[in-house]
Amino acid sequence: MIALLAGCTTPGPRIDKSLSATGQASRVRFLVLHYTVSDKPASIKILTQQQVSAHYLVTDDPQPTVYGLVDETRAAYHAGISSWKGYTQLNSSSIGIEIVNAGWKDTPQGRVFAPFPQSQIDVLVPLIKDIIARHKIAPENVLGHSDIAPLRKQDPGPLFPWHQLAQAGLVVWPDANRVAAVRQVFDIQVPDAAWFQKKLAAHGFALAQTGVFDQQTRTVIGAFQMKYRPANIAGEPDAQTAAMLEVLTTPANAPLPPVPPAPQLPQLPTSPVVPGTPVPVPGVPPVQAVPPAPVVQPVQPVQPVQPVQPVAATQQ
């Protein structure tokens, strides 16, 4: 019976691959880095036996191993609900690399992130170089999970050495001299919420343009700071963050933003001032005039007292 069924199987079409089209490109547009928040055994179990997956896993051994878990021609389930530069659901257009790392833990002193050993980075950098070279991935599309899903993810965290990847030419980085020049502008006046939201969206984040510094805006600012200014990731819209955003979203030959004018105080009255007339000062309540002291009447001189005559002695 098995032989009979096998004989009934229709062979697939014969495909001649001797020709190749010029107009073609990789389906891969993004490279996304993650930490596992688990040790090596747990990471391997999760990524091979559960629904979540990644194309590669870099271990934290003294000599790290790179495991290939999903073929690059197939989608791995690592990005989830995600967006970058208008592209969404990035599982189908990205390659994911998971890095064995404990992630973070909350302590009485605040959240503490786990560092990445240099041996791990020494293995990761050539892996990234190979992937982006084969798929022609642009440096601005080498991302962290916190870039493509900032409202729900923090990996690979503020201790991941993004600047080291930038020095290897793998990610974009703001020019320090331009940042210093632009910061002088924003030290005078930090931009408003609408400016930050517009610049964060231009950089690549999916962000509602509400015009106010709401929680989602501060969270996205914090995600940006984790990558480019990890010393302070509080999500505060400060001058340094604004300068970095301006440099990353503006062509290198573009002029610096104009210096905002200093706040002007209301003009004081220019009419002649009569001596003794109080001049109003903006923001200062007027001082009530003090009534003049009553005139003290001069004291009348006291009439001299006449001496008392001695009383005559009484006769016995």
Per the annotation, the verdict on 98 as an active-site residue is: yes
Rounded Cα distance between 97 and 113, Å, is 19
Nearest-angstrom CA–CA distance, 142 and 153: 16
Give every CB contact of residue 284 below 8 A, 6+ residues apart in sequence.
none
Q: How far apart are CA 95 and CA 91, in angstroms?
A: 8
Q: How many angstroms separate the CA atoms of 135 and 192, rounded?
A: 39
Please classify residue 92 by burial: count the beta carbons closer than 10 Å to its beta carbon, then call 0-12 exposed, 13-18 middle and 19+ buried. middle
C-alpha 308/C-alpha 306 separation (Å) is 6
Active-site residue identified among 72, 98, 140, 236: 98
Q: Which residues are catalytic?
A: 98
